[in-house]
Structure 1
Amino acid sequence: MSKKNVLITGGARGIGAATAKKLANEGYKVIINYVNSTEVANELVNEINFNGGEAVAIQADIRDDAQLEAMFNEIEENHGGIDILVSNANMNFVPKPFVEQTWEEFSQKLNDEMHAAYACSKLATKSMIKKKFGRLVFISSTLSEDPLPSFIAHGTAKGALDSFNKYLAQELGAYGITSNVIAPGLVLTDATSGAPEEFIEFIKSITPTGKVANPDDIANAVSLFVKDESSHITGTYLPVCGGAYLS
């Protein structure tokens, strides 16, 4: 049986890179999307291939429809289309309290987040519907359900993503496509490397497991959702935060 193709947006670093390694090790063909991290992405591809996996890297800014369509056309023509989408690309935002934030700052994050998820899903599901199989996995955040000061743009955008996920699960289930959300708490990556040590210690203190997640913790959750055996799990919101957020 041929390998299933996994597209990981924002796949060169952090959670994306850990997921690429995990899924390649489990026998999937990994397509690593990146914007600027050319050298890092190529190093990751070489590492995966050297270790017996199969990976390629494709540069595209998923906020740009033309680049996005070109990437999916390349995947369709050269690799046989997408079976699994891991929507992971990080969208920058302005961390400010509501009373200080402008609509432009707020809406930029909301628009970037939802455009990326919507446009990638739209193109990926064309291939999935033909195959009568598909897995959509969206990387959200516990901040969509558990607010922190100055994260209103981020948390609201992720909340919209969580709702979008439910609608996709409802509409696409008949095609053999599942859609699920993984909501990490704090994860130690390049993106969070500037977090103050006292903040990290605070998160540990309110986390039942007593630790902060690393990218492998999130990759393990992605692995659960993309398996053939997970065909009856859809529309879910899975916090991966050591119990720091308990609904």
Structure 2
Amino acid sequence: MLNGKVAIITGASRGIGAATAKLFAQYGAKVVVNYANNMGAAEEVVEFIRENGGQSIAVQADVRNQEDMNSLVNQTISHFGKVDILVNNAAIHFAMKPFFDMEWDEFRPKIEEEVKAAFVSTKSVLPIMKEQKYGKLVFISSGLSHQPMHGFIAHGTAKAAINSFVRYLAQELGPYNITANTISPGMVETDATKHTPAEEKEKAAMFTPLGRIANPEDIARAALFFASDQSAFMTGTYVPVSGGMEMNS
């Protein structure tokens, strides 16, 4: 499905990113595992891929830093010769507070850094994709961008900005055969939710038509679809991967 393709996955040392890296490699992609700080976890992902017959490297880069991302792309070209796929997955921390208790200087960093990470990462791969007249851009958003939940105003607003950003990319980049699509997970069993009380997870599962919360592999499979040519005529789409918790009208 991805034989010969080269994929950069940001924030790929754990969670959704790690699952996506492993799945892409399983389907033939050469994978660049980006990480911010956790080199050990990133190397474990690379080792897993190599032990299972795949090709992968780990590259440290701050996705908000243009020089870092340019270096990452240059290393990708040096190792694998091209870039076909970018999965924008790196997590940006945020203040979990209701609006009433939020200060602008707590709210602003999440909005600014979330959009900057997507902007910088996309800018770094775009010259190559335009030149080769082919590219797959996949962005990880959140169901909280459409369905508010107490305390998540910074996160939900930032992800809503990403949703709009992707639609504009899709419109502008279509003539270059570059697609841009958004995946919107519901609650996922990752490090980000490990401190979520069990009763909250059980409640989320109870209200999900498929009867459980997601695991990282559920999101990775959707990313695989958008990274492959199975989705060749899809761009600018927003797809919930939430077990039916979020349904488009």
Question: What do you get for the CA RMSD once the two structures are aligned?
Answer: 1.2
How many positions carry a matched residue from both structures? 247
Evaluate the alpha carbon distance shift between residue 207 and residue 2 of structure 1 in structure 2; reply closer, same or farther with a 3 A threshold. Answer: closer
CA distance in structure 2 between the partners assigned to 1:189 and 1:236 by the alignment:
25
Matched, 1:140 2:133: no
**CA offset at residue 120 of structure 1?**
0.7
CA distance in structure 2 between the partners assigned to 1:14 and 1:116 by the alignment:
18
**CA offset at residue 33 of structure 1?**
0.2
Within a 5 Å distance, the mapping from 1:1-247 to structure 2 comes to 3-247=4-248
Give the AA of the match of 2:90: A
CA distance in structure 2 between the partners assigned to 1:138 and 1:21 by the alignment:
17
CA distance in structure 1 between the partners assigned to 2:143 and 2:198 by the alignment:
20
CA distance in structure 1 between the partners assigned to 2:191 and 2:87 by the alignment:
19
**CA offset at residue 78 of structure 1?**
3.1
**CA offset at residue 231 of structure 1?**
1.2
CA distance in structure 1 between the partners assigned to 2:113 and 2:213 by the alignment:
27
Identity of paired residues, percent? 48
**CA offset at residue 123 of structure 1?**
1.4
DSSP 3-state at the match of 1:6: strand
1:154-190 Cα distance to aligned partner (Å, 9 max, x none)? 0000000000000000000110100000000000011
1:103-129 Cα distance to aligned partner (Å, 9 max, x none)? 111110001100000111111111111
CA distance in structure 2 between the partners assigned to 1:229 and 1:99 by the alignment:
45
**TM-score normalised according to structure 2 size:** 0.97
CA distance in structure 1 between the partners assigned to 2:69 and 2:53 by the alignment:
28
CA distance in structure 2 between the partners assigned to 1:119 and 1:43 by the alignment:
26
Stretches of structure 2 lacking an aligned partner (at least 5 in a row): none
DSSP 3-state at the match of 1:188: coil
DSSP 3-state at the match of 1:94: coil
**CA offset at residue 44 of structure 1?**
1.1
Give the AA of the match of 1:219: A
Give the AA of the match of 1:80: G
CA distance in structure 2 between the partners assigned to 1:148 and 1:73 by the alignment:
40
DSSP 3-state at the match of 1:92: coil
**CA offset at residue 2 of structure 1?**
7.1
**TM-score normalised according to structure 1 size:** 0.97
DSSP 3-state at the match of 1:124: helix
